Structure 1
Amino acid sequence: MSEAQATNLNYSPSSFSSVKAPIRVGILGFGGLGQAAARVLAPKQEMLWVAVADQKGYAYASEGLSPQQCITTYQAEGSIGYLETGGVLSNNSIADLIQQVGNVDGYFLALPNLPNTFMASVARQFIAAGWQGVLVDAIKRTSAVEQLLGMQAELQAAGITYMTGCGATPGLLTAGAALAAQSYAEIHSVKITFGVGIANWEAYRATVREDIAHLPGYNVEKARAMTDAEIETLLDQTNGLITLENMEHADDVMLELAGICPRDRVTVGGVVDTRNPKKPLSTNVQVTGRTFEGKISTHTFTLGDETSMAANVCGPAFGYLKAGFNLRQRGIYGLLSAAEVMPQFVR
């Protein structure tokens, strides 16, 4: 072996990543999920949080935003626009942030998809502004992802790499199913079951509303129109539990597009406890199929009960943002899903 060949074997941890300077990241939405995302980013060396927007304002700091200062300001004043340094009040915060701040490599869209067309409309704002970079969402509904699929050509032409369905489910569990499927010649079923525990539903208002929209007798419009008092009344009737079955979840279309199985073989359901941080049941995905030898078997991937919804959504979202950043550097634009790309760990 030559000296050059030997040198090539001396890998360092940094050699496994094409990220040299920190990826400059923005967060759209600063409710419970957006605040958790800021906390997840705080210790990261490969990403720098520089921009944020909520309904009433936005903030930008080229040297990086302080999660504690931003969270304190938001909780005290109701908007990040009141941040002493870098905060701007605006009734058109997302569009204003995109237009006023150019030096952002990627955004995590920690936004409620209410109405069901909202995420697609946000993507169109980025296209209209001429912004180029990486967008990542954690949206749930099949129909919402299908709207984005219809924008594939627009996103490619705009130079945007859009990673969709990159939370927990769709996202982490969808990717787990895609990986588990490799043991089989044919997939018979993919069953995703989630348990979510939150101490106070008001910390995740938008997420809870989206879950209520999946209940029998409810839809996106009805859930969106509900007052906080009406939601409290509903939760009182169920002892704080939201039990969901056969949800319209984009895991199905994502696994179908990835060639794993037809969407009608994918089912998603679970239980959300809005009054207890402990999970009511363990989150898992079960992939059942037939091997090439003709054996029927099931793989089960179970998430640790100690991992929160926020950890299982935000961690993968930023892993997919890093993957999207590297893909975009290689000239790959358009829409990709969590079932098509492996996330990259953000150090």
Structure 2
Amino acid sequence: MTIKVGILGFGGLGQAAAKILNQKQEMTWVAVADKNGFAYAPQGLDLKTTIAAYQNQDSVGHLEPFGLLSTESIAELIATAQDVDGYFLALPNLPNTFMASVAQQFIEAGWQGVLVDAIKRTSAVEQLVELTTDLTNCGITYMTGCGATPGLLTAAASIAAQSFAEVHSMEIEFGVGIANWAAYRATIREDIAHMPGYDVETARAMSDAEVEALLEQTNGILSLKDMEHADDILLERLGICSRDRVTVGGIVDTRNPKKPISTTMKLTGRTFEGKISTHTFTLGDETSMAANVCGPAFGYLKAGLSLHQRGISGLFTSAEVMPLFVK
């Protein structure tokens, strides 16, 4: 059976997700929405023409004959695309309540299926936790924190923790390289929101010119420390360690596709013999942010569908369910 997949959000991350789906046999990309419209093709959307409609006319709603312009694109897509098995929410969580509000739209629509996000902030995941009962009751299997961090690296930490009787610390240091910040505007704004003197609202309100001025001051480099990253709540929920033992930071180069540093996860703990040791998980420098976010997201979507088909709904995280490889 082919899994029918939708993508919400069609900026840099959404377009990368579509390119990944284009190479998969087990999943077919049939639905997409941006802020100005949506497109739905039951037999599958064409990658080239859909991206062209977005880039040249500012919305997938211009895609003939499958698109429709709409100011309520998500709600209308949910109502139109009845056979979608799962959605990847490749959306910026700006404002910080946005992802929970999207989940609420699916709940109110009575939709049933799998939702996957690559959310970052702890406080945003906490809002989704509050929706757990509603998600369970309406038959939605929601997989949260399923990108790179949280996501791939959190899952690695969850596995690494099994060697220890007590986990002392989990540290993530990531490196991201992109050739041009404009390809990932929303992601970069979310990163800026973690910088001293900024928050979600100030970053969201920044014009492109203001973002460019900031990047000019920093030579295109964003240095991020002690970020509010949901890896902490994901590990705490499983009893692996308290959130204050989790630290996340990194360097984003917005002018160079080469990673400024390697991305690593280090988990330190005490074994049952009383030895202190550290497991280190390092991502290959050649893997892009998009590969390390979208790949796991679809792996978790497939895992979520496996749960959903067995009648299991509610909220799950990348640290408690193994992703399934999508062929």
Under TM normalisation by the shorter chain, which class is it?
over 0.9
* Dislocated runs of 4+, deviation >2 Å: none
Aligned partner letter, 1:166: C
Match of 1:53 among 24, 33, 46: 33
What CA distance in whole angstroms lies between the structure 2 residues aligned with 1:101 and 1:321?
17
1:253 maps to: 233
| Cα deviation, residue 100, structure 1 | 1.6
CA distance in structure 1 between the partners assigned to 2:264 and 2:77 by the alignment: 38
Q: Is residue 287 from structure 1 mapped to residue 267 from structure 2 by the alignment?
A: yes
Of the three residues 119, 129, 132, the one matched with 2:112 is 132
CA–CA separation in structure 1 for the residues paired with 2:239 and 2:9: 33
**307-316 or 82-91: bigger deviation:** 82-91
Partner Cα separation in structure 2 for residue 209 and residue 123 of structure 1: 22
Q: Within 5 Å, which residues of 2 pair with 1:1-347?
A: 21-347=1-327
Q: Return the letter of the residue paired with 1:251.
A: D
Q: Distance in 2 between matches of 1:252 and 1:341?
A: 16
Worse-matched range after superposition: 68-77 or 167-176:
68-77
Q: Deviations over 1:282-331 (max 9, x none)?
A: 00100000111111000000000000000000000000000000001111
Which amino acid letter does the alignment assign opposite residue 108 of structure 1?
Answer: F
How far residue 118 of structure 1 moved from its aligned partner, in angstroms, is: 0.2
Aligned mates of 1:340, 1:332 — CA distance in 2: 14
Equivalent position amino acid for 2:217 in 1: Q
Unaligned 5+ residue runs, structure 1? Answer: 1-20
Alpha-carbon distance in 2 for matches of 1:43, 1:227: 35
Mean CA deviation greater in 92-101 or 216-225: 92-101
Q: Alpha-carbon deviations, 1:15-51, whole Å to 9, x = none? A: xxxxxx1110000000000000000001211111000
CA distance in 1, matches of 2:253, 2:238: 32
Partner SS, residue 146 of structure 1: helix
For residue 85 of structure 1, report the CA deviation from its aligned partner.
2.0
- Aligned residue for 1:6? none
| Secondary structure of residue in 1 paired with 2:209 | helix
Residue 339 of structure 1 aligns to a residue whose secondary structure is: coil
Whole-angstrom CA distance in 2 between matches of 1:150 and 1:193: 29
* Alpha-carbon distance in structure 2 between the residues aligned to 1:67 and 1:301: 33
**C-alpha offsets along residues 109-151 of structure 1, whole Å, 9 cap, x if unaligned?**
0000000000000000001111000000001000000000000
Q: In structure 2, how many angstroms separate the alpha carbons of the residues matched to 1:129 and 1:330?
A: 22
SS across alignment from 1:58: strand
Letter in 2 for 1:302: T
Gaps of 5+ in 2: none
Letter in 2 for 1:52: V
CA RMSD of aligned residues (A): 0.5
Q: Distance in 1 between matches of 2:47 and 2:272?
A: 51
Q: TM-score, normalised by structure 2?
A: 0.99
Identity %: 73
Q: Deviations over 1:238-257 (max 9, x none)?
A: 00000000000000000001
Task: Give the length in aligned residue pairs.
Answer: 327
Alpha-carbon distance in 2 for matches of 1:72, 1:284: 36
SS in 2 for 1:112: coil
SS of residue paired to 2:106: helix
Q: Which moved more, 1:28-37 or 1:65-74?
A: 65-74
